[in-house]
Amino acid sequence: MLQGPGLFILLLGVLITVHELGHFLVAKACGVKVLRFSIGFGPKLFGFTKGETEYQVAILPLGGYVKMAGDSPHEELAPEDAGRGFLNAAPWKRALIVAAGPFFNLVFPVLIYFFVFVGSHEAISTKVGFVDPAMPAATAGIRPGDRIIAVDGEKVRTFEELRDTFVGRFERPIPITVERDGKQSIVEVTPRKVTDSNGIDPVERGQIGIQYARKPAVLGVSPGSPAAQAGLKTFDRVLSINGVSIPDEAALHEQLAKLEGPLEVAVQRMRPVMAGAVTGGVPSVVKVTVPKQPGNDGFTALGAESSDLYVVSVNPGSVADKAGIRAGDRLISFNGEPLRSFTVLLAELSNLKDQPFQLTWRSADGQEHTQKLAQAPYNTRSEFSQEARLELGVDPWYPSSAELLPVDMVTVDISPGDALRQAATVVPRIVGQMVTVLGRIATNQMSTKTLGGPVMMYQLASKSAEQGWESFFHLMAVISINLGVMNLLPIPILDGFHLLSAFWEGIRRRPIPVRVREVANVVGLILLAALMVMAFYNDINRLIFG
Each domain of the chain, given as residue ranges in start order, spans 4-118+476-545, 123-211, 219-308, 320-396
Question: Would you give the DSSP letter of residue 77?
Answer: P
pLDDT in the model for residue 198:
57
pLDDT in the model for residue 184:
94
Q: Which pLDDT tens digit goes with each residue over 462-496?
A: 666 566 778 888 888 888 998 888 888 887 778 88
Residue 385 has pLDDT above 50, yes or no: no
Q: Are 292 and 264 in contact (CB under 8 A)?
A: no
Q: Are 374 and 354 in contact (CB under 8 A)?
A: yes
**Helix (H) or strand (E) segment spanning residue 481:** helix 469-487
Residues known to be catalytic = 20
Count of other CB atoms within 10 angstroms of residue 78 = 11
pLDDT > 90: percent of the chain: 42
More confident residue, 308 or 498: 308
Dist CA 106 CA 255 (whole Å)? 56
pLDDT in the model for residue 454:
57
- Compute the mean pLDDT over every residue in the chain, rounded to the nearest whole number: 84
Residue 382's pLDDT band (cuts 50, 70, 90): very low
**Helix (H) or strand (E) segment spanning residue 426:** helix 416-442
Dist CA 364 CA 344 (whole Å)? 22
**Helix (H) or strand (E) segment spanning residue 376:** strand 376-381
Q: Which pLDDT tens digit goes with each residue over 192-220?
A: 988 876 556 678 889 999 989 888 899 99
Average confidence (pLDDT) over 233-261: 89
Q: Are 499 and 98 in contact (CB under 8 A)?
A: yes
Dist CA 283 CA 156 (whole Å)? 39
More confident residue, 8 or 278: 8
Q: If 0-12 CB within 10 Å is exposed, 13-18 middle and 19+ buried, where does residue 143 land? A: middle
Dist CA 27 CA 192 (whole Å)? 55
Query: Which of 273, 293, 291 shows the shortest CA–CA distance to 281?
Result: 273
CATH fold, domain 320-396, is Pdz3 Domain (2.30.42)
pTM of the model: 0.70
pLDDT in the model for residue 360:
96
Residue 529's pLDDT band (cuts 50, 70, 90): confident
Count of other CB atoms within 10 angstroms of residue 472 = 22
The CATH number of domain 123-211 is 2.40.50.140: no
Gyration radius (Cα) of the chain, Å? 30
More confident residue, 511 or 388: 511
pLDDT in the model for residue 130:
86
Query: Which of 57, 49, 63, 69 shows the shortest CA–CA distance to 15?
Result: 63
Which residues, 6+ apart, have CB-to-CB distance to 380 below 8 Å? 386, 387, 388, 389
Q: Which pLDDT tens digit goes with each residue over 389-408?
A: 788 999 998 877 777 788 88
Residue 384 has pLDDT above 50, yes or no: no
Q: If 0-12 CB within 10 Å is exposed, 13-18 middle and 19+ buried, where does residue 218 land? A: buried
Residue 150's pLDDT band (cuts 50, 70, 90): very high
DSSP-assigned states of every residue in 186-211:
EEEE-PEEEEE--SS--EEEEE--EE
Is the Cα dihedral 46, 482, 100, 80 positive or negative? negative
Phi and psi torsions of 127, nearest 5°: -70, 130
Q: Which pLDDT tens digit goes with each residue over 280-335?
A: 668 899 999 999 988 767 899 999 999 999 999 999 999 999 999 999 999 999 99
Best-predicted range by mean pLDDT among 176-185, 341-350, 425-434, 453-462?
A: 176-185
Q: What CATH superfamily classification does 219-308 receive? A: PDZ domain (2.30.42.10)
Q: Are 130 and 144 in contact (CB under 8 A)?
A: yes
Dist CA 190 CA 394 (whole Å)? 27
